Amino acid sequence: MEQQIGYGDWDSLYRVQRCLKKTPKRKTCLLERRTDGARFVLKRGRGEQAILLEKEYEFLRGQAEFGTVEFQKNSEEGCLLRDYVEGATLGELIEREGPLDACETARLGIRICRKAAVFHHQTPPVIHRDLKPENIVVTGTGRIRLIDFESARQYKPGQETDTVRLGTRGYAAPEQFGYGQTDQRTDIYALGKVLLYMAAGSCDGEDMPLLQTKEQKHLKKVIERCCAYDPAGRYADVEHLEKDLQRIARDQGRTWDAGRVCIALLLGVFCLLAVRLGLENHRLRLELAAQSEAVEPVDWNPYTYQEDVDAIVDRMWAEDYGGLAERCEELVRKLSENEALAPVETIDTQGLEGEELSAYQSSREGYEFVADCLAYADGLPLKRLGSYADCAKEISRRIRRDIEYSWTEEDGTVRHGELYIYTVEGDERNMDGCLISILSCLNWALEQNLP
């Protein structure tokens, strides 16, 4: 017999797959939407747990990346329904694979820092207050998602302590037990414990002596600073923590042996040849650039849209076509409102092909080509806002093809596009390229679906 949710409208839309977790006052289930098989999480709570779930709902519904978020309650319980985040928790990964080396820990830590920064930079800043391996999900494409925001709060300047004390022992900072108000540094304390867990397999400070290699000792210093008892002794923000983690990741990559030196010398020769071969292309770029007045962006930062890129790719893999269409439209709206792109003199590239298109692309800075994508076909992306759902499957197919597509150079080197490099290899250096790839896929799908 099919298990019922107990709320008529939800019962007609979803079926219960299985129970994920159950306590005396809390139950979490995995749901499946009847129409398309999309998966969702239903959390039910009684008493104080119901209050926490309602607070989590109030937070999540204001965050576009979480998609579907609904809440219902009666006299006995509160129920929160949200999208299911595909992937494995950090706890599951470490339990399955074992502790990571210092370099891997630092690299994954950098990505977690960037995710936390998205919330810390909101106005007012949002503090998660329960960062732990079970609340950090690594998706199938390697992206980081944070879950379980029931402990989250907005930072209030001037408030001496928190009204409610929440968190998980082992990861909760001292101020979460009534010694002061939580702020961004509270999450940094938890991040230090998460780093220790990744490197040692435990968040217990007694395991710190296990970190004995040179790189681990550098990581140990970072963890100790994160976990200082006094918040004033911790990193001021996740950006400063990220910089130290980047040093660890880079330093471990500088361990050279004789074989690597030989490879480096060969690569140097190839680079010199590439420079000579690229002179003609560079001359062409200069000629094209001279034909139009250069425009410097006021404040262009493509990483502002990293969460949008992550959400679009995640919804593509999940085959959530409705959510994909919504996030693509949201991205186009945000880009169209960016004042940094407004002064760019755009060119409609619709009629350019082959070498002519390649030459033009190479003459443009990343932000300029993003503006060109918005101007494509006389502003097609903006004109079709509100109708992306009509070609959502084609948008999804093009983005997936862009990620999976590869080609082989004459020397046998296999190359991939920017979305593959970002989503699969985890290289986040070219967010401009990711935006251009998504907009190009979008334009192609919209153009094929013209009435």
Counting runs of H as helices and runs of E as strands, what totals does the chain give? 15, 12
> How many C-alpha atoms does 72 have within 13 Å on its Cβ side?
9
Rounded Cα distance, 301 and 431, in Å: 9
Q: What is the pLDDT of residue 296?
A: 45
Residue-level pLDDT at 303: 86
Q: Specify the pTM.
A: 0.57
List CB contacts of 382: < 8 A, sequence separation 6 or more. Answer: 332, 336, 374
Q: What is the model's pLDDT at position 32?
A: 94
| Edge-to-edge strands, sheet with 144-146 | 88-89, 136-138, 144-146
Ranges in the chain, pLDDT < 50: 155-165, 253-267, 269-298
What residue type is assigned to position 215 of the chain?
A: E
Q: Which of helix, strand or coil describes residue 372?
A: helix
Q: What distance in Å separates the CA atoms of residue 224 and residue 376, rounded to the nearest whole number?
A: 51
- Which pLDDT value is given to residue 348? 65
The string over 248-273, giving b where at least 16 C-beta atoms fall within 10 Å of a residue's C-beta and e elsewhere, is bbeebeeeeeeeeeeeeeeeeeeeee
Give 216's contacts (C-beta < 8 A, 6+ positions apart): 102, 199
Task: Please tell me the predicted confidence (pLDDT) of residue 272.
Answer: 45
User: What's the CA angle centered on 106, arms 104 and 195, to 5 degrees?
Assistant: 100
Q: 364 in helix, strand or coil?
A: coil
- Angstrom distance (rounded) from CA 24 to CA 108: 35
Between CA 223 and CA 35 the distance in angstroms is 47
Q: Which residue ranges make up each domain of the chain?
A: 8-83, 88-252, 292-448
Superfamily holding 8-83: Phosphorylase Kinase; domain 1 (3.30.200.20)
Round to the nearest angstrom and report the end-to-end CA distance of the chain: 47
Q: Token pair of 180, please?
A: 């002061």
Upstream peptide bond of 174 is cis (omega within 30 degrees of 0): no
CA torsion sign for 372, 375, 378, 380 is positive
- pLDDT at position 275: 39
Q: What is the DSSP string of 170-215?
A: TTS-GGGGTTS---HHHHHHHHHHHHHHHHHS---GGGGGG--SHH
Tell me which H or E stretch contains 111: helix 102-120
Residues 432 and 309: their CA atoms lie apart, in Å, by 11
* Biggest alpha carbon–alpha carbon distance for the chain: 76
Q: How far apart are CA 232 and CA 211, in angstroms?
A: 25
**Structural contact between residues 403 and 419, judged by C-beta atoms closer than 8 angstroms:** yes
Which residue type is seen at 305?
Y
Q: Note the helical H segments in 291-391.
A: 306-317, 321-336, 354-362, 366-383
Q: Which pair of tokens denotes residue 184?
A: 């961004």
Report, at the CATH architecture level, how domain 88-252 is classified.
Answer: Orthogonal Bundle (1.10)
- Burial (CB < 10 A; 0-12, 13-18, 19+), residue 52, is buried
Q: Is the dihedral of CA 256, 258, 264, 265 positive or negative?
A: positive
Q: Distance between CA 322 and CA 193 in Å, rounded? A: 38
| String of DSSP letters for 306-317 | HHHHHHHHHHHH
Select from 422, 436, 419 the least CA-distant residue to 366. Answer: 436
Task: Write the CB contacts of 310 (distance below 8 Å, at least 6 apart in sequence).
Answer: 65, 143
